[in-house]
Amino acid sequence: MVPADSKKWKHFERLVTAIHQAADEGAKVCWDDTINGRQFDVTIRFRRGLYEYLTVIECKDYSSPVPVEKVEAFVTKSRDVQAHHAVMASAAGFQRGAKEVAERHNITLIHVTDSDEVDLALFRARWTGMADAIHIEHISLEYADGQRRTLPEAADAMTYYVRHLVLECGPDRLTLDDLVQCHATWFHRGAIDEYMDRVITCRPGTRVAAPDDGEFPLEPLARVHVRAGMTKARVLTAPVKFETHLLVPGVKVKNVTTGEESCFSRHSLPIGLNNEFRVGEFYEQPNLSAFYYCDSLENDIAAIYLVESFQFGNLIQAKLSVKTGNARFYVPVSDRAVIARLQRRLERLKRTPG
């Protein structure tokens, strides 16, 4: 039983809350609620006829199935607040015996996972086969002074830096993409889904020359570490070119007791819950891997900057006007390192003519 990092489990809690907000129209759905001193990840209150009902939900974003004792502890916790119904949501399922405990105490267990398919209709796309492809899992730069900097794991951001990190040695300049491609045949030697590590030693005098965005030091470079392997990739055909990272899978919710399954589109879920835009704050749209800054508010219109969005290997920025009611699809950014990065990008954007 290994809990996920805080950002990940908070996102899971928001996701579970958004699912129930979408499914329970008319109910009051709250994230991170407290009842009689007891904290609950999600609460649902609704009225039927003359009576009010309370449902409490506990979210477990573990890397392994939730143990029985966690379900048993939740039984006591839900009874303490006299909840009419209790639900435990897991990202990795439940251990053997948990289902019996849940049925005995009228606890609903739900398994929340990505669905197997993505909706291609928006882009009029279709799958047309399979092909062998190199999948780069990890790249890090080892500088001459010993410090290591790792490229972002998200495919869109990694693609941007692979194509824009420029290595300079005397009169020679090449991108990190050029360097990795020179060693690509080495990864063809492995079997499908066999990932290998490759250390590329740089020529003496090599240094990082660009981009000057503060994310990677422009200093002498010693080695580049790459972890990659061959994999089977699905071939996508469409009448227009679009970013494949926009094809996010839906969310599948399985009732462990009944076996009933429901699916939800991530793009339609109000992951920001009851969020409101605030001037001077940064926001994220996780499904789009995009970050924004609220510059001003006037009536029901928010003027926001698209500060960071990587598309087709480029950094896309813009200034937009959106309805304030759409804030429920944006998540406030709280990570200080991310805010510092976005602040640097915002300052550059505001200085850019036009």
Residue 309 bridge partners (DSSP):
316
Query: Is-contact 301 324, C-beta < 8 A?
Result: yes
Domain limits, the chain: 6-115+249-268, 126-237, 282-351
Q: 6-115+249-268: what fold?
A: Trna Endonuclease; Chain: A, domain 1 (3.40.1350)
C-alpha 54/C-alpha 83 separation (Å) is 5
pTM across the whole model: 0.85
User: Which residues in the chain come in under a pLDDT of 70?
Assistant: 1-9, 354
Mind listing the pLDDT tens digit for each residue in 160-207?
999 999 999 999 999 999 999 999 888 888 889 999 999 999 999 999
DSSP annotation of 328 reads G
Q: What is the pLDDT of residue 317?
A: 96
C-alpha 342/C-alpha 122 separation (Å) is 30
Q: What is the pLDDT of residue 10?
A: 85
Q: What is the pLDDT of residue 348?
A: 93
- Name the one residue in this structure whose structure tokens are 């045949």: 185
Query: Phi, psi at residue 350, to the nearest 5°?
Result: -65, -25
Residue 211 Ramachandran class (φ > 0 left, ψ -120 to 50 alpha, else beta)? beta
